[in-house]
Amino acid sequence: MKKVYSLFLFFFFIVSCKGQDTTKTVGISITSDPASDIVSDALKDKNGNIWFASSGRGVYRYDGKSFANFTEKDGLSSNDVSCIYEDNIGKIWFGTNVGVCYYDGKTFINFPIATTNSSNGYSSSDSYSQIPKQVGSILQDKAGNYWFITLNKGVYRYDGKSFTNFLSHEVLVCILEDKAGNIWVGSWAQGGVYRYDGKSFTQFYGLSDDMIKCMLEDKNGDIWFGTRNQGVDRYDGKVITNFSKKDGLGNNDVSCIFEDKNGNIWFGSDFTGVGICFYNGKSFSNVTAKEILTNKEGWLYSVMTIAQDNDGYLWFGSRGGYLFRYDGKSFTDFSEKVFKQQ
């Protein structure tokens, strides 16, 4: 049975009056370890629900009024969830540290990634390793194929019948399909980015950093690459442009990228510096929320994921297991316990 946390059950109000920042706590339980407890991914589904992936606490679904928590007891394959994805028929997929499962609206169904006998691109003859089998990113392409980014074993494509393994020598972390149908994957092992044209993967050169953490294609068709140390690169199909702190970006370590309804590009930063900033097409603006993003010891809770609900509010998930909603002026804290580290 899923656990339901109503907004009205968690009226722990914490008000901060510095500048325009106001903090109100209304509902997700967290642990006390900011390093290992992470809200790692967020997704708005076709019905307008917002899903949040967490490390150690399963997934949360917010319907605008209350939170429902799903864990292994409800059929989730693991409580350590790295990513969430909705396919074209509305199934919600979860990448976990023990593989993949999906939710059909009623039940969770395990989806094992099988050993494949065929391979293309840069893959080796190694079969899918069951240890580790963490899945960090999921995609369904325009042709209906599913792609699964696995830890240390590259990417797997499932065509409805069989699996094909690519780039098994790389540590991959993210994937996207562009408007032209090319598949892009980002590497964390100094491989940078690879692009698949339907036949093979080729390495994409010219980026400012060869360690990529996240990618996004915006409404204009430009592709953004978040890097570990060099800020973000934007590729317009011809030219790569780098943006870093010297250009107004809050932090050169970019952990997530998101485009809002108005076309602003938001960036979440990891570990140090300003946690949130956005680009309006001309300049960068930093969003300051020190009162809720920093505990008494000065720990900055890194922003790991961003989503937007039907009302236009932005949601930010961070290290420390914290979850914040931003209405354009102030933040509301949806974490059950804030500043737990004394």
Q: Rounded to whole angstroms, how far apart are CA atoms 155 and 175?
A: 9
Task: State the pLDDT at residue 295.
Answer: 53
Question: 62 in a domain, yes or no?
Answer: yes
The tens digit of pLDDT for each residue in 138-170 reads: 999 999 999 999 987 899 999 999 999 999 888
Question: What's the token pair of residue 133?
Answer: 């089998």
Q: Which domain holds residue 17?
A: 3-86+174-335
Question: 208 in a domain, yes or no?
Answer: yes
Model pTM?
A: 0.85
Question: 233 in a domain, yes or no?
Answer: yes
**How many domains does the chain fold into?**
1
Q: Rounded to whole angstroms, how far apart are CA atoms 16 and 338?
A: 12
**25 has pLDDT over 80:** no
Question: 163 in a domain, yes or no?
Answer: no
Handedness of CA 256, 51, 337, 2 (dihedral sign): negative
Which region among 88-97, 158-167, 273-282 has the lowest average model confidence (pLDDT)?
273-282
Task: State the pLDDT at residue 22.
Answer: 33
Question: 23 in a domain, yes or no?
Answer: yes
Question: 114 in a domain, yes or no?
Answer: no
- Contact present, 68 and 4 (Cβ < 8 Å): yes
Which residue type does 150 have? T
Which residue type does 62 have? Y
CATH number of residue 227's parent domain: 2.130.10
Question: 179 in a domain, yes or no?
Answer: yes
Question: 127 in a domain, yes or no?
Answer: no
**255 has pLDDT over 60:** yes
- pLDDT band for position 125 (cuts 50, 70, 90): very low
What is the share, in percent, of the chain residues with pLDDT greater than 70?
Answer: 77
Coil, helix or strand for 235?
strand
- Contact present, 203 and 161 (Cβ < 8 Å): no
Question: What's the token pair of residue 176?
Answer: 């996207």
Coil, helix or strand for 246?
helix
Question: What's the token pair of residue 136?
Answer: 């960090």
Coil, helix or strand for 325?
strand
